[in-house]
């Protein structure tokens, strides 16, 4: 696989032109066909582990990334330009675009450089760290752009659909790019993480699932105690159908990804539990069960926080919907995700990245089960990446027609208004 990747030529006219700078990005997009695309190489988890094995070769990783990263950056940059002009013109979205253009330029500086030069390899690692830091605030900044659009132009169904479709793909692309960058920088920056000496980059080949669960619980508990002066207890249970029911469940995975998902779910479960049992002398526990089967590792978190109506489940995964007050990015440049409503949709993307999923099953008036599905075998943990092709392009051009099912609604959708606004 490595040889196949390194033999690929990926710097055609379209990518070169995109790299000329922000001032010509629009003209480039108009001169290239809307459906021009280059396929990304879908990377298995095992490939990322091989790059960081005891025989790890920095040159091999360098040659792979200097080809693959421009593909992923340029594909998502072309897709950004399919968003509505009024959303593209917001200051926050323009700022995000400028970050991507600069990062693409930074990577292409190394495209023709000598891979046998240790100075080049060191400079490449430094450039990746700079790119990673530059993109730290992409999620809240893009979220701010959506808020700016909504405040200026309101909401319409067509735009909301396109934004949801795009952001799922955009953030998944971001997860994949950061995964590749983190693997290279963590392995080849010359340092070992003393807290996790056996990690291979960001991957733990023996990730003990219940330990990550407890870490995420303790972090969420700290926040809950600070805000509510109380928090529900945790009960865990493991079932190992492969190695014996009493054996702990281990998995080859990225602990930070799993932690992110669990921390978000714990925050939601704790908040719902505390607020729905304000008059109770004792809070019901949050129960987490882990099951290892032949194909899946399943983590189910159950709370008694009152549940959510079925009609609102989809909203919890929408980037255009949040019940929290709009946060202020402030002058510091850093911003928490609280208030943007992005916790659950981003968590679902982390689960899907290596072919898993995250689902919510709620009983209104009682509680909610949140279920994380992960692949039990590393050979099945393969990246899930957006493909920029004709099908994706058509999605943005599609004019939605009236629903062909009778759906009762207190606020029926006026397609004529939607078309005028579009």
Per-residue pLDDT of the chain (422 residues; tens, 9 = 90+): 555 544 555 444 344 444 443 344 444 344 334 444 577 888 999 888 887 766 678 999 999 999 999 999 999 999 999 888 999 999 999 999 999 999 999 999 999 999 999 999 999 999 999 999 999 999 999 999 999 998 888 888 888 888 999 999 999 999 999 999 999 999 998 676 667 778 999 999 999 999 999 999 999 999 999 999 999 999 999 999 998 778 999 999 999 999 999 999 999 999 999 999 999 999 999 999 999 999 999 999 999 999 999 999 999 999 987 655 555 555 444 333 345 679 999 999 999 999 999 999 999 999 999 999 999 999 999 999 999 888 888 888 766 667 788 877 655 555 555 554 54
Please, what are the domains in the chain? 2-199 (1.20.140.20), 204-380 (3.30.565.10)
Write out the catalytic residue numbers. Answer: 260, 264, 267-268
- Determine the Cα–Cα distance for residues 124 and 391; give it in Å rounded to an integer: 35
Percentage helix, strand, coil, to 5, in the chain?
50, 10, 35
- Helix 91-108 vs helix 58-80: angle between axes, to the nearest 10 degrees? 150
Q: What is the DSSP letter of 50?
A: H
The owner of tokens 């988890």 is 45
- Determine the Cα–Cα distance for residues 119 and 127; give it in Å rounded to an integer: 12
pTM: 0.87
Would you call 125 helix, strand, or coil by DSSP? helix
- Determine the Cα–Cα distance for residues 205 and 255; give it in Å rounded to an integer: 10
């Amino acid at each position: 696989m490595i040889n196949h990747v390194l033999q690929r030529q990926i710097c055609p006219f379209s990518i070169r032109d995109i790299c000329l700078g922000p001032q010509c990005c629009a003209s480039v997009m108009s001169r290239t066909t809307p459906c021009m695309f280059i396929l990304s190489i879908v990377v298995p988890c095992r490939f990322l582990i091989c790059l960081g094995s005891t025989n790890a070769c920095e040159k091999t990783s360098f040659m792979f990334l200097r080809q693959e990263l421009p593909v992923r950056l340029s594909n998502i940059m072309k897709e950004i330009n399919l968003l509505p002009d009024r959303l593209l013109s917001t200051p926050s979205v323009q700022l995000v675009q400028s970050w991507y253009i600069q990062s693409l330029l930074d990577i292409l500086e190394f495209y023709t450089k000598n891979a046998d030069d240790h100075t080049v390899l060191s400079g490449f690692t430094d450039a990746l760290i700079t790119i990673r830091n530059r993109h730290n605030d992409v999620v809240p900044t893009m979220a701010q752009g959506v808020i700016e659009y909504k405040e200026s132009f309101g909401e319409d169904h067509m735009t909301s659909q396109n934004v949801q479709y795009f952001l799922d793909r955009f953030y998944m692309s971001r997860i994949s790019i950061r995964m590749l960058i983190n693997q290279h920088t963590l392995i080849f920056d010359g340092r070992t993480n003393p807290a996790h000496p056996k990690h291979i980059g960001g991957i733990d080949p023996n990730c003990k699932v219940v330990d990550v669960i407890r870490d995420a619980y303790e972090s969420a508990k700290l926040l809950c105690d600070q805000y509510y002066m109380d928090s529900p207890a945790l009960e865990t249970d493991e079932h190992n159908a492969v190695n014996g029911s009493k054996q702990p469940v281990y998995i080859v995975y990225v602990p930070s990804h799993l932690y992110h998902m669990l921390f978000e779910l714990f925050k939601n479960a704790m908040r719902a539990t505390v607020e729905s049992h304000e008059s109770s002398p004792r809070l019901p526990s949050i129960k987490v069960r882990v099951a290892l089967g032949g194909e899946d590792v399943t983590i189910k978190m159950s709370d008694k926080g009152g549940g959510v109506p079925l009609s609102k489940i989809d909203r919890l995964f929408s980037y255009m919907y949040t019940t929290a007050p709009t946060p202020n990015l402030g002058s510091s440049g850093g911003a928490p995700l609280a208030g943007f409503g992005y916790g659950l949709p981003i968590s679902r993307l982390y689960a899907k990245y290596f072919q898993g999923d995250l689902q919510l099953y709620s009983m209104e008036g009682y509680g909610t089960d949140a279920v994380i599905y992960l692949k039990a075998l590393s050979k099945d943990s393969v990246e899930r990446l957006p493909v920029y092709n004709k099908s994706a392009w058509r999605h943005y051009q599609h004019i939605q027609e009236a629903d062909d099912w009778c759906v009762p609604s207190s606020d029926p959708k006026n397609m004529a208004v939607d078309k005028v606004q579009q």
